[in-house]
Amino acid sequence: MTVPSDIHPLLAVENLSCAVPGPAGAMRILTDVSFTLPHATALGIVGESGAGKSMLVKTIMDIAPSRAAVTGAVRLDGTALQSLDTRTRRTTLGRRVGMVFQNPMTSLNPFVRVGRQVEEASRKHLGLDRRAAREKAIALLRAVGIPDAAECYHGFPHQFSGGMKQRIMIATALACDPELLIADEATTALDATVQKDILDLLQTLQQRRRMSMILVTHNLGVVAGRTDEVIVMYGGRLVEHAPTERLFASPRHRYTAALLSAMPRIDQPAHTRLATIPGQPPSLAHPEPGCPFAPRCPAAIDACRAAMPPMTVSADGRHRFACHVPLDAGISGDASVRQPEAANV
Amino acid sequence: MSSDAPSVTSAGDLGYLRDDAALKVRNLTVSFRRGQKIFNAVSDVSFDLARGETLGLVGESGSGKTTIGRAILQLVPAHGADLGGAITYEDDDLATLSRAQMRLMRRRMQMIFQDPVSSFNPRRKVVDIVGEGLEIQGMPRDERRRRVDQALADVGLSRAMVEGRRPYQFSGGQCQRLAIARALALGPDMIVCDEPVASLDVSVQAHVINLLQDIRAARNLALIFISHDLAVVRNVSDRVAVLYMGRMVEIGRADDIYRAPAHPYTRRLLDAIPVPDPARRIPAGEGGAEPHSQLAPPSGCRFRLRCPRADALCAEVEPQLRPMAQGQYAACHHPLPELGQGNSSRPAALSTPA
Ligand SMILES: Nc1ncnc2c1ncn2[C@@H]1O[C@H](COP(=O)(O)OP(=O)(O)OP(=O)(O)O)[C@@H](O)[C@H]1O
Ligand SMILES: Nc1ncnc2c1ncn2[C@@H]1O[C@H](COP(=O)(O)OP(=O)(O)OP(=O)(O)O)[C@@H](O)[C@H]1O
Ligand code: SF4
Ligand code: SF4
Ligand SMILES: [Mg+2]
Ligand SMILES: [Mg+2]
C-alpha cells in the first residue's frame, strides 16, 4: 500500500518472519509478513487457530519467546524499532502501544488493587506522580464504564465479573494514551451482550481518541462492522489484506472464501449444512513448497503445489492477495491488474 | 425433589407445552444456599422436548443454563441445593427413580459438559474415557469395544487414531469430538449439549455442528443445545428458550423468535450478534450496564433496570409467559410488536448480508 512520502504510516511491518526451535527442526511461525497501518484506523486480523495471529502481534510488541529468531522490520511512525537499544525500544512500545490480552483472569495480578495496576504504566512511562496517576486511573476506570470508579480503584480483581475485568484491562492498556491499541481475542471468553459492550467501548475509544486499533479474533462477525481493514493469516503467512467491505463482498483468496462460508448465519433456516474446510492446518515444521493452503484447496492446480503464489495488488492498491487462482473480483470489486508487489511495502 | 405448589402460571395453561413430548420439565426451580442467603438460579421454568427435536437454550452468563441441564440429568449436588418442580422422561418421574433406575436412565439421557477437557481425567487413555459410561453401566468388554469403535467412527475418529493416547495429545476440536463420542457410546436418545462449540474456531466449529446434526437425523435424537452464540443456535434449533436471571422470558419456534422477538431482552441479545455484514457499520455505543444482583432481584420484571420500555407496571407486577401475535410466548408487559406493526424498526438481526 502506498503512502504519501511526507508522512509515515503509524505502523509498518516489513517482511517479518519468526521461527522457534522445535523437536523436529525450526518451526516457521511467521513467514514474510508485510503490511502498513495508517493513523486512526481499525484493523482486524483473522485466521484459524494456530495461524500465527498472536505471534504476529507479540513479535510487533517485541514479546516473542526469547528463543525465537525474528527477522524483518517493524516501524512505528517511521522509526525502525530494531534500530533502537532494547530499553528505548521497550519504553517506546510501552508508551505508544497498549495491549489487551485474551485472558483477563491471568493478565491481572490477583494480589494488587486494580487502581494500582491501571496506574502502573503511567507512572513508569509518563512519570506522573502518585496523585496525578491516581486521578488519571480513576478517570480511565470511569471512561471504560466501571461504576463507582473511585471505590473500585481500591478493589481486587476477584471482586469483578469477567466483563468488568476485561474493562479494567482496557483501562490499563490506555494508561499512557497510546496511539495504537492491540486487542488479542479480548472478548472471546465473554458472552454475547458483554462482548458487544466491550467492542462498542473499544470502538468508541478508538474513534474518540483517534487511535489506531488492531483486533485479533477468529470470529469474522466481530471484525465485520467495526474495522476499516482486515488481514487474513494462514499458516504463518498474510494471505489477503483488504478494506473490510471488500473482503467480505468479494474475497479473492480461496482460504478467505472458505472461512467466510463456514460461518453459521442467522439469515439461513435451521439445520442448514455448514461448509467445512477439510484437512488439517499446515505443518510449520515441514512446510510444503507452494501455497500452504494447497492440500485443502478445492481450486488448487499444479502451480499451487510448485510455487508460493506472489502477492497480487489491485489496481487501486488497496486489496492484496496471494493466490494463483483467485476468485473473481465480483461486482463491487475492482478491475485488478495482476502485478507482483514491490519487495518493500 | 419436593413438589412445590405450582406458581401463578400452572403448566397446564400454557399452549407451548405438549402432552406427548419425550422430556417434560415443569415448574423447575433450583436454589442454592449461600451462607444465610438463598440464591434462585432457576425460577419456575417449564418446557418440553420431542424426539428428533432441538431446543436452543440461550441467555447471558449466570442465567441458569447449565443448572437446568444438570437438573434434567439429576446432577445438581444434593448438598446446598433445593430443587422444586417435576422432570419426566417418557412418563418416568426422574425424582422418584432409585439410583439403579437412574443409572439405567443415563443410557438414554446424556450430557456433553461445558469445557470437555476439564471433564476428562488427564491420566486416563482417551479410549477408556470414551468407554467410561459403558463401564459404569457394567457392559461386557466385547460389547464395550464394539460400541466405542462405533462412537469414534460417528465422530470421524478411529481406534487407530486414538489408541494409547491421552487427552493432552489432542487439539480442542478433537477433545470436543471425544466428548461427543463418550456421550454417543451409550446410545442415548436425548443429549444435553452444554456449549459444545464455544472456543472452537470457525472451521472446526462448522465440522462439530454438522456432525451433531447428522447424528441427530440418523438416530432421531432429542437435543438441548446450550450456547451463548445466537448464530450457532439459529443454525441448529427448531425451538428456542431465552433465560434471564433464572427465568424463562421467551420460548417458541426459532423462526418466529429470530424474525420478530417479543421480549426486549431477546431483542437485545439478537442485536448483539456480530453479523458478517460490513455494510452494517455498527454504531459505537456507550456500553451497557452490568446485570443486577441475583441475590436481590428487582421487584416486578427482572429485566426492568436495563429495559428501555419499563414503566410503573413493570416495577410492580412480575410478567408471566403469554402467547404473542407472532407465534411465540413471552413474559413481558409491553412486548415488541410483530414486524410491520407499530413503530418497531426492522430487527437488525434480519439484515441480509450482501
Ligand atoms: N511460545 C511458543 N513456542 C513455540 N511455539 C509457539 C509458541 N507460541 C505459539 N507457538 C506456535 O506458533 C503457532 C502460532 O501460534 P499463535 O498463538 O500465534 O496462533 P493464533 O493464530 O493466535 O491461534 P489462536 O486463534 O488459537 O489463538 C502455533 O503453531 C503455536 O503452536
Ligand atoms: N453448585 C453451585 N453452588 C452455588 N451456586 C451455583 C452452583 N452452580 C451454579 N451456581 C450459580 O447459579 C447461577 C447459574 O449458573 P449456571 O452455571 O447455570 O449459569 P450458565 O447460564 O450456565 O452460565 P455460563 O454461560 O457462564 O455457563 C450462577 O450465578 C452460579 O454462580
Ligand atoms: S494459490 Fe492455489 S492452492 Fe493456494 S489458495 Fe490459491 S488456488 Fe488454492
Ligand atoms: S415487563 Fe416491562 S421491564 Fe420487563 S421486559 Fe417487558 S417492558 Fe421491559
Ligand atoms: Mg491467539
Ligand atoms: Mg454454563
The reply to whether ligand 3 has any atom less than 6 angstroms from the CB of A297 is yes
Instruction: From chain B, pick out residues whose CB is under 8 angstroms from the CB of A199.
Output: 274, 282
pLDDT for residue A300: 95
Q: Average pLDDT of chain B? A: 84
Segment B217-236 shows an average pLDDT of 92
For the stretch B270-282, pLDDT in tens is 887 766 666 655 5
Cα–Cα distances in angstroms (integers) from residue A76 to residues A7, A60, A61, B215, B319, in the given order: 12, 10, 11, 52, 57
Q: Is the pLDDT of residue B266 over 80?
A: yes
Q: Is the pLDDT of residue B169 over 90?
A: no
Q: Average pLDDT of chain A? A: 87
For B281, the closest chain A residue by CA position comes to A225
Task: Answer for the pair B180, B172: CB distance below 8 angstroms, yes or no.
Answer: no
> Is the Cβ of B280 closer than 8 Å to some Cβ of chain A?
yes
The rounded percent of chain B whose pLDDT value lies above 70 is 85
Sequence-ordered list of residues with C-beta below 8 angstroms from that of B169, at least 6 positions apart, any chain? none
> Confidence band (pLDDT; 50, 70, 90) for B52?
very high
For A190, the closest chain B residue by CA position comes to B61
For the stretch A40-93, pLDDT in tens is 999 999 998 889 998 999 999 999 888 999 999 999 999 999 999 999 999 999
pLDDT for residue B5: 41
Cα torsion A125, A128, A130, A133: sign? negative
Task: Answer for the pair A335, A250: CB distance below 8 angstroms, yes or no.
Answer: no
> Confidence band (pLDDT; 50, 70, 90) for A104?
low
The reply to whether ligand 1 has any atom less than 6 angstroms from the CB of A231 is no
CATH number of B13-96+235-272+292-354: 3.40.50.300
Cα torsion A131, A132, A133, A136: sign? positive
The pairing of strands A11-22 and B322-323 is unpaired
Among the listed ranges A37-46, A297-306, B247-256, B334-343, which one has the minimum average pLDDT value? B334-343
Q: Is the pLDDT of residue B321 over 50?
A: yes
pLDDT for residue A252: 96
Q: Is 3.40.50.300 the CATH number for A8-250?
A: yes
Indicate yes or no: CB of B285 within 8 angstroms of CB of A200. yes
Q: Is the pLDDT of residue A303 over 90?
A: yes
Q: Is the pLDDT of residue A192 over 90?
A: no
Q: What gap in Å lies between CA B183 and CA B130, rounded to an integer?
A: 8
Segment B41-67 shows an average pLDDT of 92
At residue B206, the 3 state secondary structure works out as: helix
The reply to whether ligand 2 has any atom less than 6 angstroms from the CB of B115 is no
| Prediction ipTM score | 0.73
Q: Considering only CA atoms, which of A233, A282, A202 is closest in space to residue A46? A: A233
**Ligand 1, atom 9, residue with closest C-alpha:** A55
For the stretch B200-210, pLDDT in tens is 778 778 888 99
Q: Please report which helix (H) or strand (E) contains residue B204, including its range.
A: helix B202-219
> Confidence band (pLDDT; 50, 70, 90) for B287?
very low
Indicate yes or no: CB of A224 within 8 angstroms of CB of B60. no
Indicate yes or no: CB of B287 within 8 angstroms of CB of A273. no
pLDDT for residue B114: 77
pLDDT for residue B160: 86
Nearest CB neighbour to A244, from listed B205, B234, B278: B278
Segment A27-48 shows an average pLDDT of 94
pLDDT for residue B192: 96
**Burial of B23: CB neighbours in 10 Å, binned 0-12, 13-18, 19+:** buried
Q: What gap in Å lies between CA B119 and CA B105, rounded to an integer?
A: 21
Q: What gap in Å lies between CA A58 and CA A13, rounded to an integer?
A: 13
Nearest CB neighbour to B286, from listed A195, A204, A263: A204
Indicate yes or no: CB of B353 within 8 angstroms of CB of A267. yes
Task: Provide the number of CB pairs (under 8 Å) joining chain A to chain B.
Answer: 166
